[in-house]
A and B are shown apart, each in its own frame.
Chain A
Amino acid sequence: GENVEQHPSTLSVQEGDSAVIKCTYSDSASNYFPWYKQELGKRPQLIIDIRSNVGEKKDQRIAVTLNKTAKHFSLHITETQPEDSAVYFCAASKNTDKLIFGTGTRLQVFP
């Protein structure tokens, strides 16, 4: 079955710096890759997603890149702000049969 690995597990950055979180997946048939942000005690919230027919997608300060050959995708947050502090999860899915999540990255943005 699908396995998703996520690195790093924790990431601390200064406000205004960039943050990059990387994930790899095992099932080459996976074609949908969302990223979720989860604040303590709250639901995972979708922040951006990418499908396998594109290599990059951007939404304001957030971008995601996908390398299908390497089975690797990354989340890039630029100009980080304290409110970006949260746990971020990557996930992979084949036709949304189910999402398989990574282990999460705790991002701390220091003012």
Chain B
Amino acid sequence: DTGVSQNPRHKITKRGQNVTFRCDPISEHNRLYWYRQTLGQGPEFLTYFQNEAQLEKSRLLSDRFSAERPKGSFSTLEIQRTEQGDSAMYLCASSSRGGDGNTIYFGEGSWLTVV
């Protein structure tokens, strides 16, 4: 077990509703990443944090998406006014610039289905 925890694991929501996913990274990992993966595709980068600072956001992250990491530990990804195209697996990952160097570990993902 890599230790990155995500919840909920599965979420079914109606179009137009808001959803929030939570990610708890491996303890003491200062970098946290969000990716989105649809069936048959590779993970697509959305955003990442170093401690509490959001360092980069992909242009894939529309204004309906917001991510936070208020205390530099867990992070939340909120999707407002969900659309059917938002249906995907949302993956969180973490890394440390310390002993493991660049190794990035993924969580089990949060599956979103928008109906």
Enumerate chain A interface residues (CB-CB to B < 8 A). 6, 32, 34, 36, 42-46, 49, 51, 89, 91, 93, 95-104
Do B104 and A96 have beta carbons less than 8 Å apart? yes
Do B42 and A96 have beta carbons less than 8 Å apart? no
Do B56 and A104 have beta carbons less than 8 Å apart? no
Tell me which residues from 39 to 53 in chain B have a Cβ below 8 Å from any Cβ of chain A.
40-45, 48
Assuming the contacts A97-B48, A102-B42, asked whether A43 and B91 have C-beta atoms less than 8 A apart, the reply is yes
> Does residue B108 face the partner (Cβ distance < 8 Å to A)?
yes
Main secondary structure of the interface of B (DSSP, over half): loop
By the criterion of a CB under 8 Å from any partner CB, how many residues of chain B are at the interface? 24
Do B109 and A96 have beta carbons less than 8 Å apart? no
Tell me which residues from 1 to 56 in chain B have a Cβ below 8 Å from any Cβ of chain A.
2, 31, 33, 40-45, 48, 55-56
> Does residue B66 face the partner (Cβ distance < 8 Å to A)?
no
Q: How far is the CB of A111 from chain B (nearest CB, A)?
A: 25
Do A46 and B105 have beta carbons less than 8 Å apart? yes
B84 cross-chain contacts in A, Cβ below 8 A: none
Known: A89-B42, A103-B41, A104-B40. 14 other contacts (CB 8 A): A42-B108, A43-B106, A46-B104, A51-B102, A89-B43, A93-B102, A95-B102, A96-B97, A96-B102, A97-B56, A98-B33, A99-B45, A99-B104, A101-B42
- What are 20 A-B pairs at a CB distance below 8 A? A32-B102, A34-B103, A34-B104, A42-B108, A43-B109, A44-B43, A44-B91, A44-B106, A45-B2, A45-B106, A89-B42, A93-B104, A97-B48, A98-B33, A98-B56, A99-B33, A101-B42, A101-B43, A104-B40, A104-B41
Do A96 and B95 have beta carbons less than 8 Å apart? yes
Q: How far is the CB of B81 from chain A (nearest CB, A)?
A: 26
